[in-house]
Amino acid sequence: MTAQHSTVSEVMTHDVVTVRPDTPFKEITSVLSSHGISAVPVADARGAPMGLVSEADLLRKQAEQRAGGQEAPPGWPREKAKARAENAAGLMTAPVVTAHADWTVAQAAREMDRHRVKRLLVVDETDSIIGIVSRSDLIHVYLRPDEEIREEIRDDVLKGMLRLGGNEVWVQVHDGVVTLRGEVENRSTAQIAGRLARGVEGVVTVRPMIDYAIDDRGAEDQPQPGIEAMELRHRRT
């Protein structure tokens, strides 16, 4: 079995609805409602992303109207302009965080986490919007069957990359939790096996229970040259 890591292109929404900067408030609400979406990208004439209007952006207007003469909530002055906006240019959140279709799901997840956003706009080499990927799209990788995960770790990681025989390390997977049991010659091999298994798509966590005969790592567990390259090669396979 060959390791396959999902890309953004495989999980994103391809048919993206967009609005223009001058699209009025009521038309935006209609777009969200009719397409059953919670946010819509704002694109310029070339199709490049300018911002994103979400349901939260639209609700600011309702919040302002209900506030009336009452005391405004903390931070409200900063949101006042958005609350009184009449079109996408005034309502949108900008700049937006973008991704590329050939990114792995893990790359996209890291980018979302780093910027604390719920979705990424996917752009091509001309910076035109070609898709949108949300947090719910990314977590689908955890629906991968346990047996498929087990086969990848056994065949690609242990046998293919570490050249371990089938009797040295046993792999068990239950609900995405991987348990590695067995014995290898070197401590470094046991640790690399755990690290590579964690990088397999769909793995929730790894419980390494691999014994070793020789402690070849020293007291401080300095990384071995080439481990990072091996992990990168595995992710790209």
CATH label of the domain that carries residue 230:
3.30.1340.30
Same domain flag for 67 and 87: yes
Same domain flag for 160 and 229: yes
Alpha-carbon span 201 to 173, nearest angstrom: 13
> Does residue 3 lie in a domain region?
no
Rounded to the nearest 10°, the torsion over CA 25, 31, 32, 34 is: 140
> Does residue 46 lie in a domain region?
yes
In the block, which residue shows the tokens 């409200």?
Answer: 76
Same domain flag for 70 and 130: yes
Same domain flag for 54 and 154: no
User: To which H or E segment does residue 187 belong?
Assistant: helix 187-198
At 234 the pLDDT is: 53
Same domain flag for 130 and 182: no
What is the value of pTM for the model shown?
0.67
Render each residue's pLDDT in the chain as its tens digit; 237 residues: 444 568 999 999 999 999 999 999 999 999 999 999 999 999 999 999 999 999 988 988 776 666 554 555 555 555 677 778 899 999 999 999 999 999 988 889 989 999 999 999 999 999 999 999 999 898 888 888 999 999 999 999 999 999 998 789 999 999 999 999 999 999 999 999 999 999 898 899 999 999 999 998 764 455 554 445 555 455 544
> Does residue 95 lie in a domain region?
yes
Question: Where are the extended beta strands (E) located within the chain?
Answer: 39-43, 49-54, 98-100, 119-123, 129-134, 169-174, 177-186, 205-214
Which domain CATH number covers 34?
Answer: 3.10.580.10
Same domain flag for 62 and 161: no
Cβ within 8 Å of residue 226, ≥6 positions away: none
Provide the domain limits for residue 222.
144-236
At 112 the pLDDT is: 94
Same domain flag for 54 and 24: yes
Same domain flag for 76 and 103: yes
Backbone dihedral region for residue 182 (phi beyond 0: left; psi -120 to 50: alpha; all else: beta): left
In the chain, what is the greatest distance between 2 CA atoms, to the nearest angstrom? 75
Query: Domain boundary at 141, 158, 176, which?
Result: 141
Same domain flag for 41 and 158: no
> Does residue 2 lie in a domain region?
no
Contact between 17 and 40 (Cβ < 8 Å): yes
Q: Which amino acid is at 235?
A: R
At 32 the pLDDT is: 96
